[in-house]
Chains A and B, each alone.
Chain A
Amino acid sequence: MKNTRNSLLSFDVVQAAANGSSEALDKVLRHYSGYIARLSMRQTYDENGNLH
């Protein structure tokens, strides 16, 4: 997976998304999917205190 943290969306996509284009919004969403996945991960402990 390419590193989305350091890559920026193109200006055209940003402009289209700001104007409400669903196609562009989909691109934005996909662009940040890695970031979303990272935020969604949690460290949990099971009954034995092991880190997951």
Chain B
Amino acid sequence: MEFTSRDKERIRHQFDAFCKKVLRCEARTIYRQMARLADHEISLTEFSEDGANLFSFEDEYDLGNQQFSVLGFDVAIKNELLAEALRLLPEQQRDIILLYYFLGLNDREIGELLNILHRTISYKRTSSLKKLRKIMEGFTDEEHKK
């Protein structure tokens, strides 16, 4: 492709304008990002006690919590209502609930531990959850009647 010298001159100017525009816009984007960050950032020292508490965590020990043990794992339940309801569940269903929701295992892993198909686990888990809910609703109803 051949360019006349006027074309070349024009292209040089266009290129110059293009480069400057890119740089300007890029700079604006960065400044905007910085401004947004500055809006959201708070210095740790400016935090009140309440704010600081959001990030702190108190260690809990098993004193007074209800203890369950599944396959050698100990699970402590703090909520008394939940603990009572769990005690009323049949052992296998209780184990599944504890393993899934408190020890964080998935259906397949639980199945391997208990020698049950994982599909069965999934079914049993949902059905025992329903059962658990019924039991707990029963508890709260009773309390309301009192």
A binds B: yes
What residues make up the interface of A, taking CB atoms closer than 8 Å to B?
8-11, 14-15, 17-18, 28, 32, 35-36, 39-40, 42
Q: Does B12 lie within 8 Å of A10, measured CB to CB?
A: yes
- Given the known interface contacts A11-B12, A14-B12, the answer about A35 and B20 at a Cβ–Cβ threshold of 8 Å is yes
What residues make up the interface of B, taking CB atoms closer than 8 Å to A?
3, 8-9, 11-13, 15-16, 19-20, 23-24, 27, 31
- Given the known interface contacts A39-B27, A40-B27, the answer about A32 and B19 at a Cβ–Cβ threshold of 8 Å is yes
Contacts of A36 in B (CB 8 A): 23
Q: Does B12 lie within 8 Å of A8, measured CB to CB?
A: yes
B61 to chain A, nearest CB (A): 46
Closest residue to A28 on the B side, CB-wise?
Answer: B19
8 contacts between A and B (CB under 8 A): A9-B12, A11-B3, A14-B12, A15-B11, A17-B15, A32-B19, A32-B20, A35-B20
* A20 to B4 alpha-carbon distance, docked (Å): 22
The 9 closest A-B pairs by CB, nearest first: A39-B27, A11-B8, A8-B12, A14-B15, A8-B16, A11-B12, A32-B19, A14-B12, A36-B23
